Amino acid sequence: MASRELTTIILAAGEGTRMKSARAKVLHEIAGAPLLAHVMETASAAGSSALAVVIGPDRDDVADMARRFAGKLDIKLDVFIQTDRLGTAHAALQAGALLQAASGDVMIAFGDTPLLTPATFEALRQSLREGADIAIAAFTATDPSGYGRVLAQGDQVIAIREEKDASAEERQITLCNGGLMAISARHALRLLKQVGNANAKGEYYLTDIVEAARTEGVIARAVVVDEDELRGVNTRAQLADAEALMQQRLRREAMEAGVTLVAPDTVFFSHDTVLGNDVWIGPHVVFGPGVSMAGPGEILGFSHLAGCRIAAGARIGPFARIRPQTVLGENSHIGNFVEINRSTLGADVQANHLAYVGDAEVGRGSNIGAGTITCNFDGADKHHTRIGRDVFVGSNSTLVAPITIGDEVLIAAGSTLTKNVPDGALAFGRARQSELDGKGRDRVIANQAKRAARKARGA
């Protein structure tokens, strides 16, 4: 049987007042990406051929983020605006033009549920393939307070009752609505238009589509999903809870893929972190967005990485910082308190202690000594440093960009270089050493006398 098309509509118009933030709720982040981006990524991974996001008025920031992320996912995106917030069914109807053109399955999700997985999308679609016209993601709650209750007869859902509208008996039900809903495209637009607002809040609830369907003999069924996956984020505390759950998931996935985490609970991943087999991660390592590392390799404790690509055999840290637009070659070593930014380091490069390399290219086999700095910023512009292969940069050297260091160069410790250095040269850039006899001893004696005088005064 040919696969059915999937159209996904994500409702992201909520104000998120409980976040107490000027930022839209769906732009708050977990695992290095906005809440909305997580839902978009899941929709794409689940096979959506068309994607819509419904936003509130004056939210160009949400629209811009959604369009940027859709570009990364290479998926078609439509953005619709819900000018008047009249409920979730009303929000979904703002995408009416897309619903009119849809075929196959329609998925309606919420932009503040970042823990959804493609497997759950597939489970709901499977229910449609097996004869349901509407499939509702539901969960069994330990404490159902605040959730809409799923009312069922046999294997069919007959209604979803919001708590404010539920009777005392209905409030005892623990099967709750998780928000995510799949609808056969041939019914979606028609049934949404039939939803009324005869409820305590006078809003058009998406959940009332079930009762509208029942009057036509359209079948709705529930698909039970783990409660954690359906968690919505409405407060800062819930944002932290979602982050913790996402990190647990990402850590487990990394270990199952062949990554060693010495202290898993202390390692923080981004949603797009990619690590190869036999990568070893020490404690308190943080991955910002855009990190990929081939295995085998090591990242020692208290290191921070973002936006970088690392080849096999690399050893990083402890206490290293690898910043965006950095590429590290095979068997490179980046050690204690070394920062690399917007730079490409070739194979076998070493920068083992207390160095800053920014806006630079470093050739194969070169060594960056302790205390070395590439001075890339002149107060207005960034400038580039090029270091050739098999260069030895002595400790405490300062390379003032723009500058090019040739191959097989030796730079004496403590040098400040402002001019290009040719291949094979020994470069010095420091004042000539001189000594003044006895001056050191005189200073020691003077300091001893000062300390003795302070002690005598009781200071």
The pLDDT tens digits of the residues spanning 408-449 come to 999 999 999 999 999 999 999 888 878 788 888 888 899 899
| In a shared domain, residues 288 and 401 | yes
Going by C-alpha positions, the residue among 284, 287, 141, 144 that lies closest to residue 226 is 141
- The Cα–Cα gap between 364 and 343 comes to 13
270 inside domain:
yes
Domain count, the chain: 2
**How wide is the angle at C-alpha 54 spanned by C-alphas 179 and 59, nearest 5°?**
125
Annotated ligand binding at 11? The verdict is yes
Both 225 and 240 in a single domain?
Answer: no
pLDDT digits over 9-40, tens only?
999 998 878 999 989 999 999 999 999 999 99
Contact 242, 115 (CB under 8 A): yes
Instruction: Indicate if 353 belongs to the active site.
Output: yes
Same domain membership, residue 199 and residue 74: yes
Q: What is the CATH number of the domain that holds 83?
A: 3.90.550.10
> What are the pLDDT digits (tens) for 391-405?
999 999 999 999 999
Res 272: pLDDT: 96
Give the single-character DSSP code of 382: B
Residues 178 and 243 in one domain: no
Distance CA 207, CA 186 (A): 18
| Identified catalytic residue from 187, 271, 353, 383 | 353
In this predicted structure, what is the pLDDT of residue 201? 83
Do both 47 and 172 map to the same domain?
A: yes
pLDDT band at 165 (very low <50, low <70, confident <90, very high): confident
pLDDT over 90 at 43, yes or no: yes
Q: Which two tokens stand for residue 164?
A: 């404010």
Last residue of a domain, one of 178, 211, 230: 230
What CATH number does residue 249 fall under?
2.160.10.10
Domain boundary among 166, 201, 230: 230
Domain presence at residue 25: yes
User: Average pLDDT, stretch 278-301?
Assistant: 98
**329, 219: one domain:** no
Q: How confident is the model at residue 1 (pLDDT cuts 50, 70, 90)?
A: very low
Answer yes or no: do 286 and 358 share one domain.
yes
Residues 223 and 248 grouped into a single domain: no
Rounded CA-CA distance 363/387 in Å is: 6
309 lies in a domain?
Answer: yes
**Is there a cis peptide before residue 318, judged by omega within 30 degrees of 0?**
yes
Distance CA 31, CA 37 (A): 11
The parent domain of residue 306 ranges over: 236-427
Which ranges of 116-196 does DSSP label H, i.e. alpha helix? Answer: 118-129, 185-194
**Mean pLDDT score of the chain:** 93
198/266 same-domain check: no
Residue 148 annotated as binding?
A: yes
Q: Write the pLDDT tens digit of every residue in 123-158.
A: 999 999 999 999 999 999 888 888 889 999 888 999
Residue-level pLDDT at 16 = 79
330 annotated among ligand-binding-site residues: no
Percent of the chain residues topping a pLDDT of 70? 99
Supply the pLDDT for residue 459.
67
Q: Is 306 annotated as a binding residue?
A: no
- Say if residue 2's pLDDT is above 50: no
Rounded Cα distance between 34 and 79, Å, is: 17
Q: Is residue 448 in some structural domain? A: no
455 is in an annotated binding site: no
Q: What is the mean pLDDT of residues 65-75?
A: 94
For residue 437, being part of any structural domain is answered with no
Residues 151 and 176 in one domain: yes
252 located within any domain: yes
Whether residue 208 is contained in a domain is answered as yes
| pTM reported for the whole predicted model | 0.89
The answer to whether 446 is a known ligand-binding residue is no
Q: How far is CA 46 from the centre of its chain?
A: 19
**Are residues 325 and 345 both part of a single domain?**
yes
319 lies in the same domain as 369: yes
The phi, psi pair for 94, rounded to 5°, reads: -65, -20
Number of other residues whose CB lies within 10 A of the CB of residue 443: 10
* Domain end residue (candidates: 230, 250, 278): 230
